[in-house]
Copies of this chain bind each other. A is one copy, B any other.
Amino acid sequence: MDDTKGLAIALEEAKISYDEGGIPIGAALVGADGTVLGRGHNMRTQLGNPILHGETSALQNAGRLLATSYKGATMYTTLSPCDMCTGACLLYGISRVVIGENKTFLGGDGYLKQRGVEVVVVDDEACRGLMEKFIEEKPDVWNEDIGVEERVYSKEGTKQPSA
């Protein structure tokens, strides 16, 4: 699948989440043959669930798969993956991670590369604009989602304090 199309699905999921009053991060897991294996979005607000980020939701919705299904697969995500989602991609040996933007949050981009995963950062304006809007509107929910105590966001971008 073309990366533009894959990221468009992830962004569509992010928008669904925003419209539900949730954190606008979406993801899509696409197999080596171009099949969408799973897609999903952050569900912290909607379900009160702290482990359902965009990427983990896509993995959950893909259901049980054999290791071979993840081989050559790409995880499309609107935002740089946090440590948990980075680890989820590593656990299942996902080959590529295409990231909408990593300006509002910088997660495991470097660690993924270090572990042999191909990482592409698109720097997509729509992904970034949606996150900036959400963080402006609900900074506390965002801080909760990335496990930080205070607002660390700035227009110049933010980093996970522990990174």
Contact = CB atoms under 8 A, between A and B. Distances in A.
Interface of A: 44, 48-51, 56, 59-60, 62-68, 70, 82-88, 90-93, 108, 115-116, 143-144, 146-149, 160-162
A59 B50 contact: yes
Interface centre among A51, A60, A62 (most CB of B within 10 A): A51
A7 B35 CA distance: 41
B83 A63 contact: no
Contacts of A115: 162
Given A51-B51, A90-B83, A64 B147 contact: no
B93 A87 contact: no
Nearest to A45: B64
- Closest 10 A-B residue pairs measured CB to CB? A87-B87, A83-B87, A83-B90, A84-B88, A84-B87, A92-B147, A83-B91, A84-B91, A67-B149, A51-B56
A64 B45 CA distance: 9
Nearest to A44: B64
A90 B93 CA distance: 20
Interface centre among A88, A149, A161 (most CB of B within 10 A): A88
A91 B59 contact: no
Given A87-B84, A93-B162, A48 B68 contact: no
A116 B147 CA distance: 16
A35 to B, nearest CB: 17
A108 B92 contact: no
Contact of A108 (B56, B66, B87, B146): B87
